[in-house]
Amino acid sequence: MDKEFPARLHVLFASEAKYGVVIRRGPSKHTCFIEWDRRNDSFKPSQWLKGRVYERRSDLSPNGKYLIYFAMNGKWETETKGAWTTISKSPWMKAIALFGKGDCWNGGGLFLNSNTYWLNDGCGHEIIKQTNEVIRDYNYCPNENYGGECPGVYFIRLQRDGWALKGHQKKGKWEDVVVFEKPLPKGWILRKVAHAQVGSPEGKGVYWDEHELVSDDGVVEKFPEWEWAELDDKRIVYASKGCLFSSSIKSGSKFGLSNLLHDFNDMVFQRVEAPY
């Protein structure tokens, strides 16, 4: 049962502001967006959804003001057709633009800048609500095609945000491993090992990540429990077992001491109205 596992965390960073949104999932059909002020590491929950948000098909605008996310609740006869893409005012879920999808192929998208976005349309969305606050770019087409599920947005977002694709290994009929790397200060490298796997380890979905650190003298330290990790100025921030941590980067082969930023495990569903 879900209660046996810690909350699952994924984070979206604003590239032009000290701001982020934590996507917290758990139980599996309950999702919450949480505002992260990275200037002082304060966290404020916003809204919950009784449904699944596909965090790897979601994005935060560079200025941190808007979110695009893909969600599913399986209510196929409703206006949103059971699966939909939303544009919202960060960190809230309430739509300022809404597109019914009706299936879980494609969906979601990316911000091209703070004013325009790409909708990962695939076989099509139905427009339910539009906005003039941010504008869809109909001409943008990603240079690479990583399929119609999560990697189709996630891998493009990673590379946009400074991760270099280093390798792809097919380990079986239903398992792929893609490796990304990002340079860190003082000669370190943060390595992200992205799995796509049917029959994944207990407590993980079809798509899941683990991480490694390569020191300036080539020592590799593995962190299989890190489900998300990123460079935040001069520190590493990472998610593990429902908590967010930070760590300094030091010279040599020793990883700096970790500092707990927040434990998200005890959160429970609450009905909250957006302020717009």
What are the distances in angstroms from CA 183 to CA 126, 175, 216, 248? Answer: 41, 27, 10, 14
Q: Is the pLDDT confidence value at 21 over 50?
A: yes
Cα–Cα distance for residue pair 232/236, rounded to 1 Å: 6
Contacts of 243 (CB under 8 A, 6+ apart): 6, 9, 260, 261, 262, 263, 264, 265
User: Residue 251: pLDDT band by 50, 70, 90 thresholds?
Assistant: low
User: Tell me, what amino acid is at 204?
Assistant: K
Cα–Cα distance for residue pair 155/146, rounded to 1 Å: 7
Cα–Cα distance for residue pair 185/15, rounded to 1 Å: 18
Give the residue ranges of DSSP H helices in the chain: 151-160
- Range 54-80 average pLDDT: 97
Identify whether 60 is part of a domain.
Answer: yes
H or E stretch at 95:
strand 95-100
Q: Is the pLDDT confidence value at 2 over 90?
A: no
- According to DSSP, the residues that pair with 60 across neighbouring strands are 67
Identify whether 272 is part of a domain.
Answer: no
* Sheet (strand 189-197) strand order: 164-172, 175-183, 189-197, 207-214, 220-223
Residue 41: predicted pLDDT: 98
- Range 80-106 average pLDDT: 97
Identify whether 271 is part of a domain.
Answer: no
pLDDT in tens, 157-176: 999 999 999 999 988 778 89
Token representation of residue 181: 């790397």
User: Residue 256: pLDDT band by 50, 70, 90 thresholds?
Assistant: low
Cα–Cα distance for residue pair 58/111, rounded to 1 Å: 9
Identify whether 203 is part of a domain.
Answer: yes
Q: Is the pLDDT confidence value at 3 over 60?
A: no
pLDDT in tens, 166-205: 999 988 778 899 999 999 998 999 999 999 998 888 888 8
- Range 228-254 average pLDDT: 90
User: Tell me, what amino acid is at 11?
Assistant: V
Residue 257: predicted pLDDT: 72
Identify whether 36 is part of a domain.
Answer: yes
Answer yes or no: are the C-beta atoms of 126 and 81 closer than 8 Å.
Answer: yes
Token representation of residue 144: 């690479």
- According to DSSP, the residues that pair with 185 across neighbouring strands are none
Nearest Cα residue to 91 out of 58, 69, 66, 126: 66
Q: Is the pLDDT confidence value at 267 over 60?
A: yes
Identify whether 269 is part of a domain.
Answer: no
Cα–Cα distance for residue pair 224/100, rounded to 1 Å: 36
Determine the structural domain holding residue 6 and report its residue range: 2-263
Residue 219: predicted pLDDT: 86
Give the DSSP letter string of 204-230.
--SEEEEEEEE-TTS-EEEETT-SEEE
Total domains present in the chain: 1
Identify whether 233 is part of a domain.
Answer: yes
Residue 46: predicted pLDDT: 98
Kindly calculate the radius of gyration of the chain based on its CA atoms and give it in whole angstroms.
Answer: 18
Cα–Cα distance for residue pair 46/77, rounded to 1 Å: 27
What are the distances in angstroms from CA 22 to CA 34, 48, 139, 238? Answer: 5, 12, 30, 11
User: Tell me, what amino acid is at 79?
Assistant: E
Q: Is the pLDDT confidence value at 107 over 90?
A: yes
Q: Is the pLDDT confidence value at 252 over 70?
A: no
